[in-house]
Amino acid sequence: MMGLMGTLFFFLIIQFYILISENPHITLAGSLYLTLLVLLIFLLLSIYFGFRTGYLFKGRLDDISTFVSVLRSGKFSARVDDCRQDEIGILTEELNQLAVYIQEQVKSLQRLADEKSELADQAHQAAVMEERHRLARDLHDSVSQQLFALNMLSSAAVRTVQKKPKDAEPILIQVAEIASKAQGEMRALLLHLRPIDLKGESLLEGLKKLIQELKEKTPIDISADFKHLEGLTKGAEAHLFRIVQEGISNILRHAEATQVKISTRKTDSNLNLYISDNGRGFSVDQQKMTSYGLQTMRERCEEIGGIFQIRSKENEGTYINIRIPLREEGENHNG
C-alpha cells in the first residue's frame, strides 16, 4: 500500500512538472515508464521488508511459545529476552513477571510444606504418650494374659509329663495354639508400631528400608535406583516418601503387577521421581484417575510445587513421573 501511494505521489509530481515546465526534459510516455520503474522498485522493497518483518515477528512469537512450554515443564527460573517496547515486548515482559510470580509461589509452597512437616512432628510427639498408654493396655489385655496362660499350662504340662505322659498331649496342643495366637497378636502390634514416615532418617535411608521390607514380604520383583536426593528440604523429603509409599500401595492393591521400577533423576533444576509397573493398567480417562490413592499423590506433589504426570494403558502397565523443583544454590533450605 505504501509502495502504491508513493508511486502515485511520484507520478503526480512528474505530471505537475511536465505541466508547468515550458521545455520539460521528459515526455509523457517517459514519465509513465519511469513511474512503472519506481512502482517495481517500491514493490520489491515492500516484499523484502514484508518478509523480513514477518520473519522477525514469527521468531519473536516462537520465542514466546518456547518460553511458555518451558514454564509448563516446571522450569520457572527461565526468562525470555526482548527489550523492544512494542506490543510483543510488553507481552514478553508480562510473561517474565508471571514466571517470577510462579517461582515465588513455588518457594512459598515449599516453605509451607516445611512448616506443615514441623507442625506434624509436634503433633506426633503430643500423640506419642497417648499411643504408648493404649499399646500398654493392649499388651496387658491380650499378650500378657496369653503369656500368663502359657506359663500355667506349660507348668501343668511338665507335671503331667512326669506322671502321665499320654495325658500331656492335649495340654501341649493348647500351649501351641496359645503361643501361635500370642505371636500373631505381637506381630500385629509390631506392624502397628512401624513408622509410616521418615522419623528423622534421610529420604534415601527411608526408601532403602522400605524397599528392602517390601522385597522380603511381597513376591513382586522391585528394582530401585535412587540418585540426587541430597539437598531436599525436610518437607519435600517427607512428601516424596509418602508419595512412594502410596504409589507402591496402589500397585499392590490394584495393578496385579510382577515387576515394579522406582528411580530418581535430576534434570536441569528438577528432581524426577519415576514409578512404573507391568500390571494390568487402566484408561486414564476413566474414573480411576480420580481414585483416592492417585489423588493423594497428586495433592502431595502439588503441595511442594511439583508436577504430577501419569500414563497408563490397559494390559500395558502404568508409568508415573513426578517433577519437583529443586532450590537454587545459595537459598536457605529452612525457608
Q: In the prediction, which pLDDT does 13 show?
A: 76
Rounded distance, CA 29 to CA 35, Å?
Answer: 10
Q: Are 230 and 317 found together in one domain? A: yes
Q: Are 319 and 227 found together in one domain? A: yes
Q: Are 132 and 163 found together in one domain? A: yes
Burial class (CB in 10 A: 0-12, 13-18, 19+), 58: exposed
Phi, psi of 268 (to 5 degrees): 55, -120
pLDDT (tens digit, 9 = 90+) per residue, 179-222? Answer: 766 654 564 455 345 555 677 788 999 899 888 887 887 778 99
Residue 82 in any domain: the answer is no
Domain boundary (145, 167, 193) is at 193
Q: In the prediction, which pLDDT does 188 show?
A: 42
Q: In the prediction, which pLDDT does 223 show?
A: 94
Q: Are 144 and 218 found together in one domain? A: no
Domain boundary (174, 193, 212) is at 193
Question: Can you tell me the mean pLDDT for 284-289?
Answer: 62
- Higher pLDDT among residues 175 and 124, named by residue: 175
Q: Are 169 and 228 found together in one domain? A: no
Rounded distance, CA 295 to CA 246, Å?
Answer: 10
Is the pLDDT score of 287 beyond 70? no
Residue 320's domain is classified under what CATH number? 3.30.565.10
Residue 127 in any domain: the answer is yes
Residue 259 in any domain: the answer is yes
Residue 95 in any domain: the answer is no
Q: Are 181 and 253 found together in one domain? A: no
User: Helix 87-138 vs helix 28-72: angle between axes, to the nearest 10 degrees?
Assistant: 10
Q: Are 319 and 228 found together in one domain? A: yes
Q: In the prediction, which pLDDT does 123 show?
A: 78
Q: In the prediction, which pLDDT does 193 show?
A: 52
Rounded distance, CA 73 to CA 50, Å?
Answer: 35
Q: In the prediction, which pLDDT does 328 show?
A: 62
Residue 156's domain is classified under what CATH number? 1.20.5
Distance of CA 225 to the CA centre of its chain: 17
Residue 106 in any domain: the answer is no
Task: Identify which of 23-27, 68-72, 191-195 has the greatest average pLDDT.
Answer: 68-72
Residue 57 in any domain: the answer is no
pLDDT (tens digit, 9 = 90+) per residue, 117-161? Answer: 888 877 777 766 666 666 666 566 666 777 777 778 777 777 777
Total tally of structural domains belonging to the chain: 2
**Arithmetic mean of pLDDT over the chain:** 78
Domain boundary (146, 165, 193) is at 193
Residue 305 in any domain: the answer is yes
Q: In the prediction, which pLDDT does 192 show?
A: 43
Q: Are 320 and 223 found together in one domain? A: yes
Q: Which pairs count as long-range contacts for 12-17, CB under 8 Å and 24+ apart, including other chains?
A: none
Q: SS3 letters for the chain?
A: CHHHHHHHHHHHHHHHHHHHCCCCCCCHHHHHHHHHHHHHHHHHHHHHHHHHHHHHHHHHHHHHHHHHHHHHCCCCCCCCCCCCCCHHHHHHHHHHHHHHHHHHHHHHHHHHHHHHHHHHHHHHHHHHHHHHHHHHHHHHHHHHHHHHHHHHHHHHHHHHHHHCHHHHHHHHHHHHHHHHHHHHHHHHHHHHHCCCCCCCCCHHHHHHHHHHHHHHHCCCEEEEECCCCCCCCHHHHHHHHHHHHHHHHHHHHHHCCCEEEEEEEEECCEEEEEEEECCCCCCCCCHHHHCHHHHHHHHHHHHCCCEEEEEECCCCCEEEEEEEECCCCCCCCCC
The model's confidence at residue 320, banded by pLDDT at 50, 70 and 90, is very high
Q: Are 218 and 283 found together in one domain? A: yes
The model's confidence at residue 333, banded by pLDDT at 50, 70 and 90, is very low
Model pTM score = 0.50
How far, CA to CA in Å, does 330 sit from each of 204, 210, 335? 23, 32, 12
Q: Are 208 and 184 found together in one domain? A: no
Q: Are 172 and 233 found together in one domain? A: no
State which residues form the domain around 291. 203-325
Residue 100 in any domain: the answer is no
How many Cβ atoms from other residues are within 10 Å of residue 299's Cβ?
Answer: 12
Q: In the prediction, which pLDDT does 335 show?
A: 40
